[in-house]
Structures are given as structure tokens and as C-alpha cells.
Amino acid sequence: MSTQGSAAPSAESSGTNWVAFIAIIVAAFVAILNNSLINVAIPKLTNDLGSTTERIQWVLTGYMLASGVIIPISGYMGDRLGYKKFFIISLSVFTAGTLFCALAWSDTSLIAGRVIAGLGGGVIMPLSMSIIYKIIPRNQIGMALGLWGISAMVAPAVGPTLSGYLIEWFNWRSLFIVNIPVALLAIFLISVLLQETEKVEGKSFDTLGFVLTAISAGTLLYALSNGQTKGWTSFEIVALMFISFWALVFLLWVETGKEDPIIDLSLFKNFTYTLSVISASLVTIGLFGGVFLTPIFLQNIQGISAIDTGILLIPQSIAMAVMMPIAGKLFDKVGVIPLGFVGLTILSVMTYELHRLTVNTPQEWLETVLTIRGIGIGLCMMPLSTAGMNAVAPHQVGNASAVSNLIRQVAASLGIAVLTAIMQHKAAEHAEHITESINTVAFQTAQESLGVNSIPTLVGIIQREATAWSIADTFLISSIPLFIAIPLVFLFKQKKKLPQAQMTKQG
């Protein structure tokens, strides 16, 4: 097997590469936006296709499982085919699946289209990160990844608002159609502007490793996404967890010492990379807590529409979008420690502050806290990931990107599953305590003072209050992994400044 290292981008190709980089950002944005558009549309899809809520959830689950299964091969396929070629193939599969969804005639065909889109879209993020490392000079990586990270942070916030407008003015098919011309433009620009990367000849495919990875990741992601509805102690979920665990055990055994593993375990011998993955995963768990808790609070407790919820979240998205390239520029100069510490501290404290939420919390206060929280997210997310990727050898970039993306996807699913369970448990607990604390006289007094004429209405008010308290409690718990990540930042090696003479020589 002949392995070639990744050559540094030439000065002549630098300008073209930066234009191609814009197309990479567009592709990543479209892939993430497509998913966030669908979340809001689930009730509409259920009604229009005559489906059930449980079945139509596979529109989301099918995409997630397909993505989780396909992510591990992104490093191998990029090395074997060339990252440009495989990126174009992935974008084409994603576009074809999205078109199939737009033409869907039933819930089954829509789910099939989403699975196809997931097989292409799942590798877009790890591939795009790998390509950035291959086309952008290392001294500009921070700035590049700061700009690239905007797609990952802004798309989920823009999605609900855009989805609401598209469904109101057009129909659910427009949620898919709107992505197709943008994806085709990205394919064209990448085909014309991006140079092919060097290939690794003679690299064998780790079939057994891929099968075990797919089984472990797929069963775990499915169990995490369905555990709450099916019951964490149900036979199906317990069996899936069992299968996932033992598939992982066998995977570790099979991959140890293998020449061309699908999951390169030697990456975890790299302390900085391992620290980066752990820190980013902790942040992802805390971050995704806010992603799903905030819409629940605004829509279920304060009764505002999905469109208005998206509008209220826009300032947070703008704060993230502004801070990420700034953080990238600063990262190239000062390294991960100061940015990670400041960003994580802001993010942790603001997430903790959200435990003060009540039914009557002013939306202006919530918007302010979320916006400051967005500044923290923009400051810390990119440096934590980039520090780990910078620490790996050039020929390991593809595999390292695939592994870190897969672990973060599992962390996101784990965070949502655990925090949902906590929220529901706390809601039931608070409702029980409120009900027990009200005796017959107090109950009647409450009815009179609230102007409530029926017991069911008062029970509804109690449930609403209990849910608000449970969301506040869950925000408090979701801040814990964020606070845990703060001291880990100081374990990163600080970026060393080169002597001026050496910098001049390198320049």
C-alpha cells in the first residue's frame, strides 16, 4: 500500500480554494437545514399523508440512522476515491433523496427518500471538515472552521421559522424543493473550483469493522431516540442496548492493531484529540438540551407559534454567526485555552440562568439570555473541535473527522434522550406535589381567585406550571456537563508562539 501525505495548498490555488470553500459551506448548510425544516412539519406530514405520528417519526429516525451508519466510511472513501469525488457523490445522493421526498406519494416513499438522503447527507459534515484541512493552510484553519461552523449553528435556528412560512404559503413538498437548486449549485461549484485530493492506493476496506460500527451506532441511536416512547425498560430497547454494547466490544477487539481499520483506535492515543472529543461531546449534550427545551417552553407553556419561536431564536443565531469567525481568527493567534474558557463560562452560566424560567417569564429576558448564550457557543465550539483535529497527522484527518462527528451525533441523541426523560419525570413529580399541597378549601379558593369554573381547567393550569418548573430543572441539569467541560480546557497544550526569526524564515 502506498500512502501519500496531504500536500499543503499552493499559493496559486489559495484563491480558488477559498471560493470552493464557500461552496462547501453552502453544502453543509443545506444538509443541516433540510433536517431542521422537517422537525416542525411532522404534524402536517401526518395529516396530509394519512399516517400516524409513530410511523411518520421515521422521517426523522430513518435519516438519523442512515447518517449514523454511513459516517464511519467517510474517511476511507475519501482516501480511496479522492475527497472531491466522494463529496460530489454524497451531495448527489443527498439531492436525489431530497427530490424523491418532494415527489413522495405516501409515508413509505417519503421515509425511503429520507433514508437515501441520509446516506448522502450523513457524510457531508465530516467530509467537508476533512476537505477544509486539505485545502486551507494550517495557519488559517481557525478562521475557515469558524466560518464553516456557522452552517452547523445557524441552520437549526433558521429551519423552524422558514419551515413555518413554507408550509403556510405553499405546502410540505416545498420543504424539500427549496434545497435542491442550492445543492445543485454547490455540486457545480465544487466540480469546477475544487482540486482533487491525493488518493491512497491499495487501501483495503474493513468490512467487518464497518458492519460492527454500523450495528453498534445504529442500534444505539435508535434506542436513544425511541427509549422514551417505548419505555427504557422495554424488551426492545434493552435488547438494542445489549446489541450495541457487545457490537462495540467486538469492534474494539477487531480494530486493535489492524492495518486499515474503519475506526482508527490509535487516534485515542493522541491526548489532545481525545480531550477534544470528550470536551466537544460534553458541550453537545448541554447544547442540545437548549435546542429542544426552548421551543417546548415557548410553544407549550407560553403558547406562541412555531414561526414566532423561530423569530425569537434568531438573535441567538446571529450572535453565534458573528462570534464563530471571530473565534476562528483569534484561535489562529491565541489557541484554544482562552477562547474555550471564556466561551464555556458564558455558555455554562447562561444555561444555568435558564433554570429561573417560569410560566410568566418575559420573552425579552429569555431572548437576552439566549443571545448571550449564543456568544458563548460561538466562542467555544469551534476551538474545542479544531484543537483536536490540528493535533492529528494529515493522513489521519479523514478518519479523525468521521470518528468525532459520529461521537458527537451519539452525544446529541444521548443528551436529548436523557434530558427528555428528566423533564417528563420532573413534570410528573411537580404536578403531584402541587396537587397534594392543595386541600379542598384551598382548591375552591384557587378556582375562585383564578376565575376558573371547572376542575379540568385548573388541573390544566397545574400541569402547565409543573411543566414550566420541570423545564427549568432540566436546564439546570443540562448546565452540569458544560461546567464539567470548563476545567478540561486547561489540559490542552497552549499554542506556542514562534520566535520572530523562525516565523520570518517560515514565511
SS3 for 365-428 is HHHHHHHHHHHHHHHHHHHHHHHHHHCCCHHHHHHHHHHHHHHHHHHHHHHHHHHHHHHHHHHH
Class of residue 143 by CB neighbours under 10 A (exposed 0-12, middle 13-18, buried 19+): buried
Residue 506 forms part of a structural domain: no
pLDDT number for residue 243: 94
Q: Give the angle subtended at the CA of 274 by the CAs of 27 and 144, to the nearest 5°.
A: 30
Same domain, 349 and 477: yes
168-193: pLDDT as tens digits: 788 888 889 988 998 998 899 888 88
pLDDT number for residue 498: 42
State mean pLDDT over 339-355. 93
Structure letter (DSSP) for residue 201: B
CA distance 485 to 481: 6
Residue where a domain stops, chosen among 242, 257, 272: 257
Between 99 and 11, the more confident residue is 99
| Cα separations in angstroms, 377 against 35, 282, 338 | 21, 13, 14
State mean pLDDT over 6-18. 52
364-384: pLDDT as tens digits: 999 999 999 989 988 888 888
| Cα separations in angstroms, 396 against 47, 168, 209, 264, 327 | 47, 46, 17, 8, 25
CA distance 442 to 34: 50
State mean pLDDT over 272-293. 85
pLDDT cut 70: percent of the chain above it: 88
Least confident of 65-79, 149-163, 169-183, 395-409: 149-163
CA distance 264 to 261: 5
Q: Give the angle subtended at the CA of 62 by the CAs of 59 and 63, to the nearest 5°.
A: 85
pLDDT number for residue 449: 56
CATH of residue 174: 1.20.1250.20
Residue 362 forms part of a structural domain: yes
Residue 418 forms part of a structural domain: yes
Instruction: Cite the DSSP H helix spans in 122-201.
Output: 124-135, 141-169, 174-177, 180-193
Q: Are 49 and 107 in contact (CB under 8 A)?
A: yes
CA distance 473 to 420: 11
Between 257 and 505, the more confident residue is 257
Residue 394 forms part of a structural domain: yes
pLDDT number for residue 14: 54
Same domain, 336 and 429: yes
Least confident of 28-42, 183-197, 272-286: 28-42
Same domain, 123 and 251: no
Other residues' Cβ atoms within 10 Å of the Cβ of residue 229: 12
Between 52 and 190, the more confident residue is 190
Q: Are 180 and 95 in contact (CB under 8 A)?
A: yes
Residue where a domain stops, chosen among 195, 226, 257: 257
pLDDT number for residue 289: 67
Nearest to 73 by CA among 204, 262, 225, 223: 262
Query: For residue 8, what pLDDT band results from cuts at 50, 70 and 90?
Result: very low
Is it the case that residue 502 has pLDDT exceeding 60?
Answer: no
Q: Are 141 and 149 in contact (CB under 8 A)?
A: no
Same domain, 31 and 119: yes
| Cα separations in angstroms, 379 against 11, 338, 341, 375, 383 | 29, 10, 9, 6, 7
DSSP-derived 3-state class of residue 264: coil
CA distance 452 to 434: 17
**Residue 451, C-alpha cell as written in the block:** 376565575
**Residue 444, C-alpha cell as written in the block:** 375552591
CA distance 32 to 212: 26
pLDDT number for residue 94: 94
Same domain, 192 and 252: no
Query: For residue 450, what pLDDT band results from cuts at 50, 70 and 90?
Result: low
Same domain, 77 and 139: yes
Residue 248 forms part of a structural domain: yes
Query: For residue 489, what pLDDT band results from cuts at 50, 70 and 90?
Result: very high
Is it the case that residue 294 has pLDDT exceeding 60?
Answer: yes
Query: For residue 258, what pLDDT band results from cuts at 50, 70 and 90?
Result: confident
State mean pLDDT over 247-257. 87
pLDDT number for residue 309: 76
3-state SS string for 325-376 = HHHHHHHHHHCHHHHHHHHHHHHHHHHHHHHHCCCCCCHHHHHHHHHHHHHH
Number of domains observed in the structure of the chain:
3
DSSP-derived 3-state class of residue 103: coil
Same domain, 373 and 283: yes
**Residue 447, C-alpha cell as written in the block:** 378556582
State mean pLDDT over 386-409. 85
Domain that holds residue 478: 264-501
Q: Are 59 and 110 in contact (CB under 8 A)?
A: yes
* R_g of the chain, CA atoms, integer Å: 24
CA distance 254 to 256: 6
Least confident of 48-52, 275-279, 466-470: 48-52
Highest mean pLDDT among 194-198, 204-208, 248-252: 248-252
Q: Are 388 and 400 in contact (CB under 8 A)?
A: yes
Is it the case that residue 63 has pLDDT exceeding 90?
Answer: no
Between 442 and 205, the more confident residue is 205
Residue 477 forms part of a structural domain: yes
Q: Are 78 and 405 in contact (CB under 8 A)?
A: no
State mean pLDDT over 96-124. 91
Residue where a domain stops, chosen among 240, 257, 274: 257
Nearest to 411 by CA among 276, 265, 503: 276
Same domain, 53 and 122: yes
pLDDT number for residue 439: 56
Same domain, 216 and 190: no
Same domain, 223 and 178: no
Claim: this prediction has a pTM higher than 0.85: no
Q: Are 123 and 74 in contact (CB under 8 A)?
A: yes
Is it the case that residue 120 has pLDDT exceeding 60?
Answer: yes
Other residues' Cβ atoms within 10 Å of the Cβ of residue 465: 17
Query: For residue 396, what pLDDT band results from cuts at 50, 70 and 90?
Result: confident
Residue 222 forms part of a structural domain: yes
pLDDT number for residue 15: 56
Q: Are 150 and 158 in contact (CB under 8 A)?
A: no
State mean pLDDT over 332-348. 91
Query: For residue 197, what pLDDT band results from cuts at 50, 70 and 90?
Result: confident
Same domain, 370 and 229: no
Residue 226 forms part of a structural domain: yes
Highest mean pLDDT among 100-114, 291-305, 416-430: 100-114
Query: For residue 506, what pLDDT band results from cuts at 50, 70 and 90?
Result: very low
Same domain, 337 and 426: yes
pLDDT number for residue 5: 42
